[in-house]
Structure 1
Amino acid sequence: MARELSEVGVVGLGTMGAGITEVLARAGLSVTAVEIDEDALARGRAHVEQSTEKAVERGKLDADERTAVLERIRFSTALADLSQAELVVEAVPERLELKAALFAELDGICPPDTILATNTSSLSVTELSVATGRPSKVVGMHFFNPAPVMKLVEVVRTVVTEPAVVEDVEALAARLGKTDVTIGDKAGFIANALLFGYLNHAVAMLESRYASREDIDAAMRLGCGLPMGPLALMDLIGIDTAYEILDTMYRQSRDRLHAPSPVIKQMVTAGLLGRKSGRGFYSYAGRDEAEVVPDAATPQPGGAAEGARAVRRVGVVGSGTMATGMIEVFAKGGYDTVFVARSPEKVEAVRSALARSLDKQVVRGRLDEATRDVVLARVTGTTSLDDLADVDLAVEAVVESLPVKQTLFAALGEICRPGAVLATTTSSLPVIECAKASERPGDVVGLHFFNPAPVMKLVEVVSTIATAPDVAATAHAVCAQLGKHAVSCADRAGFIVNALLFPYLNDAVRMLEAHYASADDIDAAMKVGCGYPMGPFELLDVVGLDVSLAIERELYAEFREPGYAPAPLLEHLVTAGYLGRKTGRGFRDHTAR
């Protein structure tokens, strides 16, 4: 049975340590908080006082509770004051030699049954444990920043950590109101191992000038619902901290995808550390400020749409969910829209689906009846591609098959008037293949909408090496009129969103395949620890394992990066017909829900 701890210590009162101190004291524990000198101690005390004051202002604590919390904390500069602690959490800077020396000193001060916990986010807990004479009493207790707010704690056991120690720490995490996931000692644990590979990939994408920092961040926020874009998150974490975590992960895993992008080391050397220094990937109003200010790399508003061709009439080829959503978007955006379906029945089905969608918006108060009628009047259905002869923009939304799309673009190249823009909404196929088939490649651009098109704000504008500048500008101008946020990228597998998302999902499958953690714990770590709207396995089951596998194969075929090779577990599930929610079973069984 787990011990009910009452006397605990925290060493290091930076942002994390002060937050951990506050969390422990708010849970009713007596806390001894230790810093290296009086100045550092004063900063740590001020941090706790300010944080608890804000909690009172927000109604999370009342004034009496705040007083009681502060009374439970004893601030000290002497490690000897931890001689009665039942558990000590270290939160000193992320350097192995510093933490190991501290643990060795604590080993001589604390009673033999005191648990020594490290808040490291990437270092080996095992290496820290052997600096003591009690390695079986050493455990990782990785809080997330800001500790009073973030609900996740990763409990990290080594091969020699006593089960009773793990139980005690798990019980403490529950008492603190945290969600704990218990895992083995592996670089990055769950959250950082998945998060930092993705962040490193985003930096490499920027470093290669594939897309701008603003477009990379907007794509992941709007396309995946993430709370922050990867480069803004790097600035928040600290470029130096990110480098240390990636370097540690690489030295342990030897996975090239964790090798820090060269620009990260260059930024650390130059002192561009993110928000803490006032400049990182973005420029800020000052040190430790969140406000982003314009700099030499900031794009001019509306600049991407300069020189656009005039578009008044739009054609859409297709009758599926994406095509129907795009027809609605174009018509609501003020464009006369003609769509082409394969049969009169499919034409009527699209019209009915469009009417139902607009009627729902009237019922919900998002549209009035007059606007609905105007939108419907802008839409014309047909079964003949020849009816696209006079459109200014033709967008295909047919099945994701390259031969089918190539045949269609060959026809569009002949039918559409000279100067009309031809666009594909493919999510993974090479746009240049469609462009070549049209025999007018300068007029072809990728216009990748996200599903459901009427709701999702993001559109990836994909330029091939042959796309004319005014064609890309036209795509941006149309997106602006539709109320969409367009991001620019080149014609490369995955574009921005899928190129960053699917290697992360593949890494999660590999983690599960290695039996490092359960699907539930991995999903919890990413949702609770990183603020993701869905865990990787939830998302894979929604997207469809077959769709995910196809995208991962495209990425691997293009980049030939071993880390991108689809995890065998994903291949096996698809072979077995376990494709996710659509078949009732994927990484989870959905039939009983």
Structure 2
Amino acid sequence: MARDFTSVGVTGLGTMGAGIVEVFARGGLRVVATEVDDAALERGRGVLARSTARAVAKGRLEQAEADALHGRVTFTTDLAGLAGCDLVVEAVPERPALKHELFRRLDDVVAPGAVLATNTSSLSVTDIAVATAHPERVVGMHFFNPAPVQRLVEVVTTVVTDDEVRDSVRALAERLGKTPVVVGDRAGFIGNALLFGYLGHAVAMLESGRATRDDIDTAARVGLGYPMGPLALLDLIGLDTAEAILTTMYEQGRDRLHAPSPLLTELVAAGHLGRKTGRGFFVYPPPGSGGGDTTAPDAGGPAAGVREVGRVVVVATGDDDSAAAVDDRLGAWVDDLAAVGVDVDRVTVGNSGDGDARLAEADVVLVDVPAGDSGSALVATVTSTLTDGTVVALTGAGADGSLAGLAAATGRPADVVGLQPVTPVASAPLVEVVVGLDTSESTVATTRALCERLGRTAVTTRDRAGRLVEALLVPYLCDALRMVQDGYASADDVDTAMRNGCGLPRGPVQALDELGLDVALDAARRLHSETGEPGHAPPPLLTQLVAAGRLGTRTGEGVRRHP
């Protein structure tokens, strides 16, 4: 039977600890809030006061409710003040020795039946529990920042946590209006394991030169519909915090993809910790300076080397099926080009000399390259009739992952670029501009300018497996599916954690079903083949679901069944 907690304690009153105090006090509980000294205590009191004042100003809390909330909180520097609490939540800095010592002291303060909870985001709850005389009463109660706003609470159990303790803490979270998810003691739990795996991968992509800082963040915001790009989010979290969490995850799980990248470590060593120091991946104006948001790309003026585009020719191979497929894939491009005053024509390779003449007059040729071995012959035929400086934009299945060979076949690789509309996980007009070994800056600038003229957001990426959006997304989706496959969490719990804890518009299992399991499997195989990283290998469950024909929403069944 779940316990009815009436008095709780919180020790450690930083931003997170003070937020947890607010959550409990809003829920009608008496709260004892402790810190190590008067200065830290007053800082915590100030965090709580500012948070409730903002809530009142925004109409989310009545002044009378705020006054009553503050009346339920007792502040003290004496740990003995926690003696009468039914539950104590620890929210001190993420240092194992500090937490172990605190829990040993709490053993001597609280009643034998009191529950001890840690808000750790990545440390082992088991290690913390065994520092006490009664590890069965220790549980993880991981809130997400800002605690008064984010709905998720991860209730983390160890192999010795009492079932009644687990059920009581879960019931308390529900009573407070939170959405609890019960998980085992694994590095990062659900939320941080998935989030920081994704964030660490984004840093590695930047470090490897796959794409620029701005294009990586734009791909996540526009292509995936995420509220922030991964690099801006890291700056908000704090690069030192991120490095510490990734280090803990790597030490516990030994997955090399969780090890902090050298770039992240160097930024931390240089003191560039993100927003709190004014510089991380982005540079931030001092508080109160009125400076602009430097996390947004600078639109600026026209890029250097942009060529004028007045005529575009769309090229298909010479069979009716191919032409129909091109119309299906590229019809919107044709319509949009015409709408902005660009002269558009369609050419089927193998036409009369009239077709050759039309190609020779193009500023841009958009070639739909079919899958298979015929791509090189197609682009060689097309480009043999072009004038110097014509941009050759290759799209379609045959252009994905083979740009270098196709560009070489043209004899003019500086003019060749890949152009891949992103399969929409978010309903957004994002286009990946793929650069080859010799693609010129002018070719890239002209292609991006044309995309933006059509109302599409363009990002530039090297010709790597998964390009940019899939390379960001698919490893994260596979990590989530592994949790389901291994029985660590259900599909519903994984999606709940990422929506309610990380503020994402959809959970990874939902995103996987919407993307298509076959699409994800193909991308994962290409990433694994290119990198050789065991962590990029597709999980067996993904392979099995695809083999069974369960491809996601379009077939009515994927990881979940869809009506």
TM-score when normalising by structure 1: 0.88
Q: Deviations over 1:540-568 (max 9, x none)?
A: 11111111111111111111111111111
Q: 1:319·1:340 contact (CA, 8 Å) conserved in 2?
A: no
Distance in 2 (CA, whole Å) between partners of 1:438 and 1:321 is 26
Q: Deviations over 1:48-72 (max 9, x none)?
A: 1111111111111111111111111
Which is further off, 422-431 or 231-240? 422-431
Per the TM alignment, residue 494 of structure 1 is displaced from its structure 2 partner at its CA by 1.6
The residue that corresponds to 2:382 in the other structure is 412
Q: Deviations over 1:479-505 (max 9, x none)?
A: 232233322222211222111111111
Per the TM alignment, residue 309 of structure 1 is displaced from its structure 2 partner at its CA by 2.1
The residue that corresponds to 1:565 in the other structure is 537
The residue that corresponds to 2:321 in the other structure is none
The residue that corresponds to 2:322 in the other structure is none
Per the TM alignment, residue 74 of structure 1 is displaced from its structure 2 partner at its CA by 0.7
Per the TM alignment, residue 292 of structure 1 is displaced from its structure 2 partner at its CA by 5.8
Distance in 2 (CA, whole Å) between partners of 1:453 and 1:17 is 36
Distance in 2 (CA, whole Å) between partners of 1:409 and 1:555 is 26
The residue that corresponds to 1:337 in the other structure is 344
Is 1:15 aligned with 2:22? no
Q: Percent identity?
A: 52
Given the superposition, is the C-alpha separation of residues 541 and 66 from structure 1 closer, same or farther in structure 2, using an over 3 Å criterion? same
Name which of 484, 495, 500 aligns with 1:523. Answer: 495
Q: How many residues align?
A: 549
The residue that corresponds to 2:28 in the other structure is 28
The residue that corresponds to 2:330 in the other structure is 323
Which is further off, 485-494 or 316-325? 316-325
Distance in 1 (CA, whole Å) between partners of 2:139 and 2:490 is 20
Name which of 455, 462, 467 aligns with 1:490. Answer: 462
Q: Give the aligned residue type for 2:63.
A: A
The 5 Å alignment of 1:304-453 reads 305-317=303-315, 318-319=325-326, 321-339=328-346, 387-397=358-368, 399=370, 401-426=371-396, 428-451=400-423
Distance in 2 (CA, whole Å) between partners of 1:286 and 1:80 is 41
Q: Give the aligned residue type for 2:82.
A: L
Given the superposition, is the C-alpha separation of residues 110 and 403 from structure 1 closer, same or farther in structure 2, using an over 3 Å criterion? same
Q: 1:319·1:341 contact (CA, 8 Å) conserved in 2?
A: no
Per the TM alignment, residue 478 of structure 1 is displaced from its structure 2 partner at its CA by 1.1
Secondary structure of 2:326's counterpart equals: coil
Q: Deviations over 1:226-263 (max 9, x none)?
A: 11111111111111111110000000111000111112
Distance in 1 (CA, whole Å) between partners of 2:154 and 2:66 is 27
Q: Deviations over 1:357-391 (max 9, x none)?
A: xxxxxxxxxxxxxxxxxxxxxxxxxx978754422
Q: Give the aligned residue type for 1:442.
A: A
Q: Give the aligned residue type for 2:116.
A: L
Q: 1:426·1:446 contact (CA, 8 Å) conserved in 2?
A: no
Per the TM alignment, residue 407 of structure 1 is displaced from its structure 2 partner at its CA by 4.1
Q: 2:223·2:424 contact (CA, 8 Å) conserved in 1?
A: no
Per the TM alignment, residue 169 of structure 1 is displaced from its structure 2 partner at its CA by 0.7
Given the superposition, is the C-alpha separation of residues 582 and 15 from structure 1 closer, same or farther in structure 2, using an over 3 Å criterion? same
Distance in 2 (CA, whole Å) between partners of 1:266 and 1:170 is 40
Secondary structure of 1:284's counterpart equals: coil
Is 1:227 aligned with 2:227? yes
Is 1:466 aligned with 2:438? yes
Is 1:537 aligned with 2:523? no
Per the TM alignment, residue 38 of structure 1 is displaced from its structure 2 partner at its CA by 1.0
Q: Give the aligned residue type for 2:253.
A: S
Q: Give the aligned residue type for 2:77.
A: T
Per the TM alignment, residue 430 of structure 1 is displaced from its structure 2 partner at its CA by 2.5
Per the TM alignment, residue 265 of structure 1 is displaced from its structure 2 partner at its CA by 1.9
Given the superposition, is the C-alpha separation of residues 524 and 333 from structure 1 closer, same or farther in structure 2, using an over 3 Å criterion? farther
The residue that corresponds to 1:366 in the other structure is none
Per the TM alignment, residue 205 of structure 1 is displaced from its structure 2 partner at its CA by 1.7
Per the TM alignment, residue 506 of structure 1 is displaced from its structure 2 partner at its CA by 1.2
Q: 1:430·1:492 contact (CA, 8 Å) conserved in 2?
A: no
Which runs of 5 or more structure 1 residues have no equivalent in the other structure? 344-382
Q: 2:422·2:469 contact (CA, 8 Å) conserved in 1?
A: no
Q: 2:33·2:75 contact (CA, 8 Å) conserved in 1?
A: yes
Given the superposition, is the C-alpha separation of residues 320 and 589 from structure 1 closer, same or farther in structure 2, using an over 3 Å criterion? farther
TM-score when normalising by structure 2: 0.92
The residue that corresponds to 2:262 in the other structure is 262
The residue that corresponds to 1:359 in the other structure is none
Q: Deviations over 1:23-58 (max 9, x none)?
A: 111011111111111111111111111111111111
The 5 Å alignment of 1:214-253 reads 214-253=214-253
Q: 1:284·1:290 contact (CA, 8 Å) conserved in 2?
A: no
Which is further off, 390-399 or 514-523? 390-399
Secondary structure of 2:89's counterpart equals: strand
Secondary structure of 1:31's counterpart equals: strand
Distance in 2 (CA, whole Å) between partners of 1:588 and 1:404 is 38
Distance in 1 (CA, whole Å) between partners of 2:349 and 2:96 is 65
Distance in 2 (CA, whole Å) between partners of 1:49 and 1:307 is 54
The CA RMSD measured in Å over matched residues stands at 2.5
